[in-house]
């Protein structure tokens, strides 16, 4: 762990507020003790609900490294990742994750992810957004083709 990298995430989170780009969140991704990517929350300035700091930083890091995995990297984020960002972090497979503010700190200022934590373990039929499976048999055609593909890149 290197406090210098967390300080950069915190600095960026404050700057993001002042710039009016989005919420008070930022993230840096480090490889070989060097920052390779930065990201800030740009949800409101880009009208993209997925533009959380961690997602933006992961996209930037993968582009810079020309890979879809962040093996050998560390993620420093100004706040504990929400469920969406945590999922993206696990898909990216970094070596370590460090965060500053906790999810209860975020909830106190209006960024409460508790609904998501409550919804995830529920049965699909019990979730707030009505959800129904359609055309599974037809959609399996893509999965069968993927299974047969000889030159697929596994992830």
Q: Which residues are catalytic?
A: 54
CA distance 28 to 75: 6
CA distance 21 to 51: 11
Burial of 60 (0-12, 13-18, 19+ CB in 10 A): middle
From CA 22, how far away is CA 52, in angstroms rounded? 9
What count of other Cβ atoms lies within 10 Å of the Cβ of residue 9?
27
On the 0-12 / 13-18 / 19+ scale of CB atoms within 10 A, 89 is: buried
For 77, the token pair is 């984020």
Tokens 């469920």: give the residue. 83
């Amino acid at each position: 762990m290197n406090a210098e990298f967390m300080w950069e995430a915190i600095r960026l989170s404050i700057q993001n507020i002042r710039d009016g780009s989005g919420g008070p969140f930022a993230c840096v991704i480090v490889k070989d003790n060097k920052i390779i990517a930065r990201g800030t929350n740009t949800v409101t300035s880009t009208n993209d609900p997925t533009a959380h700091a961690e997602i933006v930083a992961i996209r930037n890091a993968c582009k810079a490294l020309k890979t879809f995995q962040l093996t050998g990297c560390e993620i420093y984020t100004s706040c504990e990742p929400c469920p969406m960002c945590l999922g993206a972090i696990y898909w990216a497979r970094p070596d370590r994750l460090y965060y500053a503010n906790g999810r209860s700190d975020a909830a106190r200022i209006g960024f409460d992810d508790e609904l998501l934590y409550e919804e995830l373990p529920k049965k699909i039929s019990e979730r707030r957004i009505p959800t129904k499976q359609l055309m599974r048999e037809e959609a399996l055609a893509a999965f069968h083709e993927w299974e047969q593909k000889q030159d697929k890149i596994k992830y």
